[in-house]
Amino acid sequence: MRLVDIKDLTVSFPQTEGLVQAVRGLTLHVAPGESLGIVGESGSGKSVTCMAVLRLLREPPARIAAERLELAGVDMRKADRRQLASMRGSVAAMIFQDPMTAFDPVFTIGHQIAETIRAHRAVSKSEAMAEAEDLLARVRIKAPKAVLQSYPHQLSGGMLQRAMIAMALSSRPQILFADEPTTALDVTIQAQILQLIKEIQAEYGMGLIMVTHDLGVVAETVDRVVVMYGGRVMEEGPVQEIFDAAAHPYTQALLGSIPGRVAGRQRLTEIKGASPNPAHPPSGCPFHPRCPVAEPRCAAEVPALAPFAPARAAACWRVA
Amino acid sequence: MIRYILGRLASIALTFFVVSVIVFLMMHAVPGGPFDGNDMPVSAEVKAKLNANLGLDKPLYVQYLNYMGGVLRLDFGVPFQSPGETVLQLLGRAWPPSLILGGAGVLIGAPLGILLGMAAALNRNSWIDYLASAFATLGLTIPVFVTSMMLILVFAVWLNWLPASGWGKPHSWVLPILAYATIPMATYARYTRSAMLDVLNKPFVTVLRAKGLPERRIIFQHVLRNASLAMVTVFLPMFIGTATGSIFVEAMFRVPGLGAYFVSSIEQRDYPLEMALILIVTLMFCFAYLISDIAYALLNPRIRFGGGEK
């Protein structure tokens, strides 16, 4: 069984300059307990993909189309409001980029975790509070009682992100969507939070989708990685194999731009050009205008995501 | 909190003093006096005698001290335009119609406006939003005397359901109150809409949805509570602003309220009434702001517990 099963997902937003396609025919899946990283530049459609699975985008203006969009076997395309509310937070939980703005400023952390628990299970307020305290202790918060009674503005970003994770765990979700969970944090805190997410994932045996623009984050936390560009999947495979032998020119370019990966004093290689304008995407492969090895065919036809080795796939005419 | 309130009370006293000095000076800076009007020609000797009787011949600071000394004993003097009664008696007679008009107008208009603003914000960019916004804009842009005329035309002239003017029986209150209610309704609708939209666009609302809270709870517990922070500081003082009624509505419907006295006391140099009106309204606004600031602090933990936004 697949926990997350997306086939041919398209997400678009009508704008004055035309229909902006944030995601253009994306296919991916996550097995129970598996961790998947979605890597890409900003605007590649990775966050929108997560929001679309949980149907968190405002529709309209957003338009979602997919051949398949399933979460734990439920067809999310057809889920109604009540069904969505019962799945969010319990089957699938999500943590966000900026913990400072993710909590309601006028309620305590304890209140906000307890209300999440009570939204999904019939427990009393005091039981929910006691549970919230346990959860805070599980995310390695040293003084859970004090944090429980704190308002968001009284806590640091790292502390709030821990509380956010505790809140996400409150109904033992089968999958956790983590949308750039460390981008807004201090570098020293980032490693702690990633370590925590990894430990918690193993402890709870849940699936994980880690959205990030940082290949370093992916290397530390996930088993498998999907590389996105221009709203499409460029390459997919086990994280170590991708790092060792990237097949797609875009992935290769991305890896070439990480400092410290190549031994010796070598100049980093940047990817020339700019990300495609989602209102007017290039024809054919979205990467071809910036690709060092593009052929005439790349501008004409879109290469499909095709398997070329066990557990690996790439969308490139040169790889097939 | 008590320290804060005491501090605020002290600053209200200071405000009151400053306003009283400025208004007193401005009042007397306007040339002319109460007996210079053409409708009441009096000889120079009589005028001097009248002025001396009222103490208007004394230096300004003496006049000021005399008047304020009376105010501290709740004696606001005798209105020149109605010497048979004290200022307080005049207010006691003319204020109730204005209070009823303003109070009922706000009590009807504010909840309607808040509901309208909420409906608009929750259905943004739909026909409900456009309709509510158009309604609110009309309410703000059409002058209240035009609204009054239309109400009179429809309900008094064509339908003949209600009297066109006067203040005798309660059914004659209906049209002026309706006319007046359009102002707070439109204002509250616009404020509520923008305050709600502001909160609805905050990231924490997405988080609340992502954790599976029912939409009803998100709106009524989280969004409204946060929006009320922006609303409370605007709404309470606005409420006080209505306590003096509306000069235009009172004139259109010939309501024997306070509105006319605001104008006539300035025109006729009725110094005691002018001072009394302005001082009382000043105090009311000061306390309205104090109450709304306390309410804001109680609603907002960032203020209640100190420490700014990070």
Q: Which helix (H) or strand (E) holds B17?
A: helix B2-29
Separation of alpha carbons B46 and B54, rounded Å: 12
* Segments of A105-204 assigned E as strands: 175-179
| Cis peptide bond N-terminal to A60, omega within 30 | yes
CB contact under 8 A, B204 and A85: no
Partners of B212 on chain A (C-beta within 8 Å) are 84-90, 116, 119-120, 171
B309 interfaces chain A, CB cutoff of 8 Å: yes
C-alpha distances in Å from residue B158, one per residue of B103, B153, B154, B164, B166: 28, 6, 5, 11, 18
Q: Are strands A175-179 and A92-95 parallel, antiparallel or unpaired?
A: parallel
B298 interfaces chain A, CB cutoff of 8 Å: no
Tell me if the domain spanning B93-264 has CATH number 1.10.3720.10: yes
Separation of alpha carbons A301 and A264, rounded Å: 39
Task: Please provide residue A39's backbone torsions phi and psi, each rounded to the nearest 5 degrees.
Answer: -115, 145
ipTM of the complex: 0.86
Instruction: Work out the end-to-end distance of chain A between its first and last CA atoms, rounded to an integer number of angstroms.
Output: 28
pLDDT value for A109: 92
B234: helix, strand or coil: helix
Nearest to A85 among B203, B214, B299 (CB): B214
Partners of B211 on chain A (C-beta within 8 Å) are 88-89, 93, 116, 119, 167-168
Rg (CA), chain A: 20
Residue B211's closest CA among A199, A176, A273?
A: A176
- B81-120 pLDDT, tens digit per residue, is 788 888 888 888 888 888 888 888 888 888 999 899 999 9
CB contact under 8 A, A116 and B214: no
Which residue of chain B comes nearest to A170, CA vs CA?
Answer: B211
For residues A94 and A85, the answer to whether their CB atoms sit within 8 Å is: no
Which residue of chain A comes nearest to B308, CA vs CA?
Answer: A153
Separation of alpha carbons A303 and A247, rounded Å: 14
- A53-78 pLDDT, tens digit per residue, is 889 888 888 888 888 888 888 888 88
Separation of alpha carbons A158 and A230, rounded Å: 31
Q: Span A47-58, mean pLDDT?
A: 88
CB contact under 8 A, B301 and A120: no
CB contact under 8 A, B302 and A105: yes
Nearest to B207 among A86, A96, A105 (CB): A96
CB contact under 8 A, A115 and B213: yes
Q: Where are the domains of chain B?
A: 93-264
Tokens for A28? Answer: 């991916």
- B30-85 pLDDT, tens digit per residue, is 777 777 766 667 777 887 887 787 778 788 888 888 888 888 888 888 888 788 88
Provide the whole-model pTM: 0.76
Q: What is the DSSP letter of A218?
A: H
CB contact under 8 A, B209 and A56: yes
Residue B253's closest CA among B149, B125, B128?
A: B149
Separation of alpha carbons A279 and B59, rounded Å: 77
Residue linked to tokens 């409150």: A170
For residues B196 and B227, the answer to whether their CB atoms sit within 8 Å is: yes
Separation of alpha carbons A318 and A310, rounded Å: 18
- B124-163 pLDDT, tens digit per residue, is 888 998 998 888 888 888 888 888 888 888 888 888 788 8
State the DSSP string of B272-297. Answer: HHHHHHHHHHHHHHHHHHHHHHHHHH
CB contact under 8 A, B210 and A90: no
